[in-house]
């Protein structure tokens, strides 16, 4: 299976458009709340496409190479997963011209843009569903949805009489087995791909449980742009969804879960190793590298909140995220320590006053990005654990590549620890020359056929070493 070549090298940044930056107050809706107000399900705060464009230099300074935007199409909600018009930019975010300017500038700076594709369901204001509400059983679009009986009950209490995502009436489910529905949705995919986007993040694709639909979707997109990235929102380990008929990669929530459970002391080091290997071994090497690896998203509490405000644990979480296989993805604001409980609190406005930033954390993330870009092993190297110690909550793994390797040693415990890694486990002939990359507060030595690394609590050590003999 051929996946887009660029994804393994990508650093993603996810943006919830209403909360990232307000670049044009003139398009704010009348019910806009002040920037930074506690988020809720109904009120906008004014973020828009011009704001993203104006702040793209911030992302470039951080080192971002790809942006995933939550839905930007016309919708009555802040989250925009209840789409009204798939061919129209929501006016509260700007115009088509604003989007084209953002796409053009991003591409000129080497940044790719992927959009959120919500094709399982639409909003109640979608033209076909409005027609059904207006004309009931006489509507020409009645077969576009899964209707059980008439009249429909789309707004008041009581049964909806139609299928909707999680039974939420504002999200009527498409009948994707209807050829007209398919033709419409494929035209949406083709339109935006032809506009120049670099891929799609597919919302709840498992709820369109039809392999032929996704095979047609993939063919439609790849025919326009063979290097377009298709990533599915699948929350469990499931190899079905990465294939020639499905997606290039998945949102790797199971890997996120393994990292955060380990750092929250919910699992041992051995269990962490087992969890990581279970996730990675389920997929072919090319798909493993094309996974989108988040620590947080619009659907989860923020990483600093999950880890109880423990900044050193957060830094270690980022270090693991950037060293494990897959494309690391930063949820906007996580790099400055923005807190947030589950939705809607995890969708707070980005605080552009730097007085509210954790500058040390941002510098750490920026350094990780620079190192990942500099070390091909961290992006494309084969992965293998080489040490695990349950009593000390320490483990070590390598990313090995013909052009050089990187050793990663971590201490997820609350006390200083010394970890020994056998040189034989690294596949070396003789003693390799280690070059420290990360871990300014770490001491190390080579002695007795081992590399001995002394780590502080929640410490991490990255070291480059020469490629395998004959590599």
**Catalytic center residues:** 203, 233
SS3 (DSSP) at 453 = strand
Question: For residue 429, which phi and psi values (nearest 5 degrees)?
Answer: -105, 110
List of E strands, 402-466: 404-411, 417-422, 435-438, 443-447, 450-455, 460-465
Sign of the Cα pseudo-torsion (10, 16, 20, 24, in order): positive
CA pair distance 411, 419, nearest whole angstrom: 9
Token pair 């906008």 is found at 44
Tell me which residue of 462, 413, 415 sits closest to 439, measured CA to CA. 462
User: Do the bridges between strand 199-202 and strand 66-69 make them parallel or antiparallel, or are there none, so unpaired?
Assistant: unpaired
DSSP class per residue in 362-395: HHHHHHHHHHHHH-HHHHH-EEEEEEEETTTTEE
Token pair 């919500």 is found at 118
- Measured at the CA of 151, the angle between CA 146 and CA 152, to 5 degrees, comes to 50
DSSP class per residue in 203-261: SSGGGS--HHHHHHHHHHHHHH-TT-EEEE---S--GGGBSTTSBSEEB-HHHHHHHHH
Token pair 């620079």 is found at 370
């Amino acid at each position: 299976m051929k996946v887009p070549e660029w994804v393994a090298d990508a650093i993603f940044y996810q943006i919830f458009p209403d909360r990232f930056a307000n670049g044009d107050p003139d398009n704010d809706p009348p019910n806009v709340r002040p920037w930074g107000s506690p988020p809720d399900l109904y009120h906008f705060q004014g973020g828009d496409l011009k704001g993203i464009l104006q702040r793209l230099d911030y992302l470039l300074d951080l080192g971002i190479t790809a942006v995933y935007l939550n839905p930007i199409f016309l919708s009555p909600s802040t989250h925009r997963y209840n789409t009204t018009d798939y061919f129209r930019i929501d006016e509260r975010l700007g115009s088509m011209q604003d989007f084209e300017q953002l796409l053009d500038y991003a591409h000129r700076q080497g940044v790719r843009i992927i959009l959120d594709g919500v094709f399982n369901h639409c909003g109640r204001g979608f033209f076909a569903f409005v027609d059904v509400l207006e004309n009931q059983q006489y509507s020409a679009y009645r077969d576009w949805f899964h209707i059980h009986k008439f009249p429909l009950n789309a707004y008041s209490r009581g049964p909806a009489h139609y299928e909707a995502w999680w039974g939420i009436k504002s999200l009527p489910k498409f009948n994707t087995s209807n050829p007209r529905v398919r033709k419409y949705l494929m035209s949406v995919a083709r339109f935006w791909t032809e506009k120049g986007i670099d891929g799609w993040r597919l919302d709840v694709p498992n709820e369109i449980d039809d392999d032929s639909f996704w095979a047609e979707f993939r063919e439609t997109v790849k025919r326009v742009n063979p290097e377009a990235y298709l990533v599915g929102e699948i929350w469990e380990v499931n190899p079905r969804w990465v294939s020639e008929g499905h997606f290039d990669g998945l949102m790797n929530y199971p890997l996120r879960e393994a990292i955060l459970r380990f750092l929250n002391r919910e699992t041992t080091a051995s269990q962490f190793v087992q969890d990581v290997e279970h996730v990675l071994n389920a997929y072919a090497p090319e798909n493993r590298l094309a996974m989108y690896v988040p620590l947080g998203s619009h659907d989860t509490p923020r990483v600093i909140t999950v880890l109880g405000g423990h900044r050193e644990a957060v830094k270690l979480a980022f270090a693991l995220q950037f060293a494990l296989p897959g494309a690391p993805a930063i949820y906007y604001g996580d790099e400055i320590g923005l807190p947030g409980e589950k939705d809607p609190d995890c969708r707070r406005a980005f605080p552009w006053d730097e007085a509210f930033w954790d500058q040390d954390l941002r510098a750490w993330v920026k350094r990780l990005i620079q190192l990942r870009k500099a070390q091909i092993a961290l992006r494309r190297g084969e992965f293998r654990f080489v040490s695990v110690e349950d009593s000390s909550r320490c483990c070590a793994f390598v990313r090995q590549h013909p052009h050089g390797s990187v050793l990663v040693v971590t201490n997820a415990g609350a006390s200083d620890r010394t970890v020994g890694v056998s040189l034989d486990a690294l596949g070396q002939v003789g003693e390799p020359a280690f070059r420290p990359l990360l871990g300014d507060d770490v001491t190390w030595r080579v002695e007795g056929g081992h590399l001995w690394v002394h780590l502080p609590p929640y410490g991490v050590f990255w070291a480059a070493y020469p490629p395998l003999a004959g590599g």
